[in-house]
């Protein structure tokens, strides 16, 4: 027996040594290519900006000075990217394809091949077979999808374990885990002693059959979100790799990996459809800066540094916000009805002609009849083009009327004549009178500042009370330029600007996270900026906490401009252990949304409730509980109602405990205090939840906010309370 054992250890050692040698080779290649790339881009940038002579990297690329400078800027920033590309394990998986029998047939062109799979392709020479394939390459898909039941031509799959704090050098490779996916066929050189999971284990059914996957899922969380590229699960992989045509919506319970899927999908699309997506631009939209800070490192870790990540607010016109709306006005300004009111207000500027127009042409005068002019305006209105386009269309069609007359008189006129007629004062004056030039600021200020204008635009859409709530009372500006805009007014300005002309800024693909929380007007901001209507929409109706949060997906998707998007559920959770999820699922039952409950891949969660009487009791107990939690590994999040957050911070400070703000924690800072609303999308190993009844009672969406708070813990949830616990948490 012990002889067997030693032989196994020997085999494993030899196997590890071979894999480490491969890792060394990859590392050396990476170092070489990075250094060369750096050198090349810096040289190129130097040449272009005249700092260098010699090899002219930019010659023939940038003809003039301005574009040479732009290209130089680009190259320098590219050099910076190369420097910033994070180090890490060069590969995380290996696939050996079958070379005979049915497996060989299934393997097709990959028959008998061995591939390493990593975050990026590693190749010594463009014509040599790569040392490592990119995880997004089509063949890598088998790594995520192959199972013993459906091996997809894969004979053998290996996962690599790397020491978590290493930089991916050969010594950091510490473990191997092998699966033989084809029964009855020996795994060749697979080490007898490696950490083998049962051949029958399917990747889908039992992710935890792999210790490396389990370790990744169970690991204590510290710092920002990480990529999951080594452990993407089959149902997630399906979503990550679905094509860019049309749009997709993922309804996922808390911790099922929606955010992770969205970010990996972004990386996948950029890699697979570079022309369409990279050139068109990729936009990732998140709910707040804390969340964006938390997710900001994932795409760069996957090698994608050119993606814009922002909130909807960041896309709006940059006017300073100097006014505050009543809650009623805020809700109205976020509602879909407002879009209809604004459209009417804008097109109310268009007037039908009220008489003929005479156009002088040298000593002659052309005459345009009221009827034909009216037809021009009416037909243009009916076509519903963007306002600016409409204006130019009216001008062009009026000139065409002149052309017809001229043609009848003296044959076809020349191009020069047509251009002159287009600019003639009488004609421009006519265009200005029926289809005046407008600015969004003017339209919105005109609407909110004048009861009659508003009444006309809102007729049948808003009640009189609602109109009163919208009207500027004391703060009527003298001109639109001096208007004091509120945050919600910026939505109105963007809407009108979008009706006047398509926004210049638009994207080839947009990933929207926490999409359930967007108002119809916010959805429209994104719809306007999505060039091809290609969106990945991520959310959970049960976590809708804004006053306008969606209750069903079809309506929300329509506001986003993609009513045809398919809705796919994710229900397997990777964060909240089942012990904690049980309480959250009880609360879910009482929420007014119809979503499937989550089940968890994780167990071993600890739930404690601690009664601390007195209104300040729970706050008073926070410091002691946090201090105790700090005795264990991982991050600690203290979640409380917004009104209590300041007191909780003071209590911690008084006890010498430093606490950060979400998404902006300092290096090594393990404690974060966060209000229930901003906790969305975040996670902590240990959560101290302060006075849940107070969170649940915070407005109509309080229970949803509590649901968010209850689903942030990776391992332990401690509830401190004085007021009676919400029903789901009793017992």
Ligand X SMILES: Nc1ncnc2c1ncn2[C@@H]1O[C@H](COP(=O)(O)OP(=O)(O)OP(=O)(O)O)[C@@H](O)[C@H]1O
Give binding residues as ranges.
252-259
**Of 58 and 681, which has the nearer Cβ to ligand X?**
681
Contact between 632 and 686 under an 8 Å Cβ cutoff? The reply is yes
Whole-number minimum distance, CB 257 to ligand X, in Å?
A: 3
Whole-number minimum distance, CB 204 to ligand X, in Å?
A: 11
**Of 175 and 533, which has the nearer Cβ to ligand X?**
175
Q: Of residues 665-724, which lie at the interface with ligand X (CB under 6 A)?
A: 681, 683, 711
Nearest to 319 by CA among 481, 475, 437: 481
**Of 133 and 538, which has the nearer Cβ to ligand X?**
538
Contact between 546 and 521 under an 8 Å Cβ cutoff? The reply is no
**Of 231 and 335, which has the nearer Cβ to ligand X?**
231
Spatial distance between the Cα atoms of 641 and 608, rounded to a whole number of angstroms = 19
- Residue 574 sits in the site that holds ligand X (CB under 6 A): yes
Strands 535-539 and 509-512: parallel
Whole-number minimum distance, CB 428 to ligand X, in Å?
A: 54
* DSSP symbols for 533-573: --EEEEE-GGG--STT--SSHHHHHHHTT-TT-EEEEE-EE
**Of 493 and 598, which has the nearer Cβ to ligand X?**
598
Q: What's the token pair of residue 326?
A: 């009543």
Strands 248-252 and 195-196: unpaired
Whole-number minimum distance, CB 467 to ligand X, in Å?
A: 38
**Of 395 and 575, which has the nearer Cβ to ligand X?**
575
Whole-number minimum distance, CB 144 to ligand X, in Å?
A: 9
* DSSP symbols for 486-534: EHHHHHHHHHHHHHHS--S--BSEEEESSGGG--HHHHHHHHHHBTT--
- Which residue in 178, 540, 677, 718 binds ligand X (CB under 6 A)? 540
What CA dihedral angle connects 142, 147, 151 and 157, to 10 degrees?
A: 60
Using CB under 6 A as the criterion, what x/- string covers residues 188-217 for binding ligand X? ----------------------------xx
Q: What's the token pair of residue 208?
A: 């935890």
Whole-number minimum distance, CB 250 to ligand X, in Å?
A: 8
- Residue 290 sits in the site that holds ligand X (CB under 6 A): no
Whole-number minimum distance, CB 674 to ligand X, in Å?
A: 13
Q: What's the token pair of residue 156?
A: 């053998």
Q: Of residues 398-437, which lie at the interface with ligand X (CB under 6 A)?
A: none
**Of 160 and 574, which has the nearer Cβ to ligand X?**
574
Spatial distance between the Cα atoms of 535 and 515, rounded to a whole number of angstroms = 11
Spatial distance between the Cα atoms of 283 and 383, rounded to a whole number of angstroms = 31
Known binding residues for ATP are: 252-259
**Of 236 and 704, which has the nearer Cβ to ligand X?**
236
Whole-number minimum distance, CB 635 to ligand X, in Å?
A: 11
Spatial distance between the Cα atoms of 498 and 514, rounded to a whole number of angstroms = 24
Whole-number minimum distance, CB 677 to ligand X, in Å?
A: 13
Q: Judging by beta carbons within 10 Å of its beta carbon (0-12, 13-18, 19+), is residue 656 exposed, middle or buried?
A: exposed
Total residues in contact with ligand X, by rule CB under 6 A: 22
Spatial distance between the Cα atoms of 293 and 475, rounded to a whole number of angstroms = 36
Using CB under 6 A as the criterion, what x/- string covers residues 253-282 for binding ligand X? -xxxxxxx----------------------
Q: What's the token pair of residue 686?
A: 């240990």
**Of 12 and 214, which has the nearer Cβ to ligand X?**
214
- Residue 544 sits in the site that holds ligand X (CB under 6 A): no
Nearest to 249 by CA among 597, 491, 595, 528: 595
Cβ-proximal residues to 318 (8 Å cutoff; 6+ apart), any chain = none
Three-state SS for 512?
A: strand
Using CB under 6 A as the criterion, what x/- string covers residues 216-255 for binding ligand X? xx----------x--xxx--x---------------x-xx
Contact between 509 and 460 under an 8 Å Cβ cutoff? The reply is no
Spatial distance between the Cα atoms of 151 and 349, rounded to a whole number of angstroms = 65
Residues forming contacts to ligand X in the complex (CB under 6 A) are 216-217, 228, 231-233, 236, 252, 254-260, 540, 543, 574-575, 681, 683, 711
């Amino acid at each position: 027996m012990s002889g067997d054992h030693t032989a196994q250890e020997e085999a494993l050692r030899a196997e590890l040594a071979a894999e480490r040698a491969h890792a060394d080779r990859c590392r050396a290649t990476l170092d070489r290519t990075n250094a060369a790339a750096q050198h090349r881009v810096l040289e190129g940038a130097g040449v272009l900006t005249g700092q260098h002579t010699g090899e002219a990297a930019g010659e023939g690329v940038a003809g003039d000075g301005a574009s040479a400078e732009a290209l130089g800027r680009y190259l320098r920033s590219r050099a910076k990217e190369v420097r910033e590309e994070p180090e890490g394990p060069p590969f995380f998986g290996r696939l050996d394809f079958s070379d005979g029998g049915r497996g060989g047939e299934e393997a097709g062109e990959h028959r008998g091949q061995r591939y390493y799979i990593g975050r990026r392709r590693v190749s010594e020479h463009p014509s040599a077979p790569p040392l490592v394939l990119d995880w997004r390459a089509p063949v890598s898909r088998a790594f995520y999808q192959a199972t013993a039941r459906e091996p997809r031509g894969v004979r053998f799959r290996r996962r690599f374990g790397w020491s978590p704090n290493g930089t991916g050098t050969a010594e950091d490779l510490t473990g191997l885990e092998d699966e033989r996916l084809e029964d009855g066929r020996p795994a060749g050189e697979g080490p007898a002693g490696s950490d083998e999971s049962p051949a029958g284990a399917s990747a889908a059914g039992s992710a935890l059959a792999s210790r490396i996957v389990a370790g990744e899922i169970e690991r204590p969380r510290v710092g920002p979100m990480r990529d999951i590229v080594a452990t993407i699960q089959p149902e997630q992989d399906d979503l990550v790799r679905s094509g860019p045509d049309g749009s997709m919506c993922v309804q996922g319970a808390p911790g099922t990996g929606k955010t992770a899927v969205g970010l990996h999908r972004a990386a996948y699309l950029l890699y697979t459809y570079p022309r369409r997506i990279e050139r068109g631009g990729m936009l990732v939209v998140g709910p707040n800066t804390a969340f964006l800070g938390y997710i900001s490192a994932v795409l760069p870790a996957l090698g994608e540094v050119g993606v814009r990540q922002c909130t909807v607010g960041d896309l709006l016109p940059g006017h300073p916000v100097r006014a505050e709306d009543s809650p009623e006005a805020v809700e109205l300004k976020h509602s879909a009805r407002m879009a209809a009111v604004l459209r009417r207000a804008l097109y109310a500027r268009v007037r039908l002609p009220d008489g003929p127009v005479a156009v002088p042409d040298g000593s002659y005068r052309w005459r345009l009849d009221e009827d034909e002019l009216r037809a021009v305006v009416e037909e243009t209105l009916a076509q519903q083009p963007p306002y600016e386009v409409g204006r130019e269309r009216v001008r062009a069609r009026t000139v065409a009327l002149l052309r017809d007359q001229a043609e009848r008189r003296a044959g076809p006129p020349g191009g020069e004549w047509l251009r002159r007629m287009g600019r003639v004062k009488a004609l421009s004056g006519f265009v200005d009178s029926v289809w005046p030039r407008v600015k969004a600021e003017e339209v919105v200020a005109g609407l909110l500042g004048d009861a009659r204008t508003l009444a006309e635009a809102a007729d049948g859409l808003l009640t009189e009370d609602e109109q009163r709530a919208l009207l500027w009372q004391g703060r009527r500006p003298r001109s639109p330029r001096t208007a004091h805009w509120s945050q919600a007014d910026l939505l109105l300005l963007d809407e009108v600007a979008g009706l006047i002309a398509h926004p210049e800024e638009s994207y080839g693909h947009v990933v929207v996270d926490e999409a359930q929380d967007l108002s119809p007007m916010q959805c429209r901001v994104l719809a306007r900026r999505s060039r091809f209507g290609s969106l990945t929409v991520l959310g959970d109706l049960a976590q809708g906490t804004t006053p306008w949060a969606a209750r069903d997906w079809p309506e929300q998707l329509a506001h986003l401009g993609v009513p045809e998007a398919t809705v796919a559920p994710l229900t397997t959770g990777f964060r909240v252990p089942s012990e904690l999820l049980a309480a959250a699922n009880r609360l879910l039952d009482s929420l007014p949304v119809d979503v499937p409950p989550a089940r968890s891949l994780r167990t071993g969660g600890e739930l404690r409730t601690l009664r601390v009487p007195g209104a300040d009791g729970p706050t008073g107990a926070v410091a002691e509980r946090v201090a105790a939690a700090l005795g264990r590994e991982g991050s600690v999040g203290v979640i409380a109602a917004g009104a209590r957050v300041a007191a909780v911070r003071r209590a911690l400070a008084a006890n010498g405990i430093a606490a950060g703000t979400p998404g902006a924690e300092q290096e090594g800072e393990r404690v974060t205090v966060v209000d229930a609303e901003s906790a969305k999308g975040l996670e902590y190993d240990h959560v101290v939840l302060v006075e849940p009844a107070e969170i649940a009672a915070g407005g109509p969406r309080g229970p949803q906010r509590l649901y968010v708070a209850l689903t942030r813990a990776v391992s332990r949830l401690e509830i401190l309370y004085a007021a009676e616990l919400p029903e789901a948490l009793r017992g």
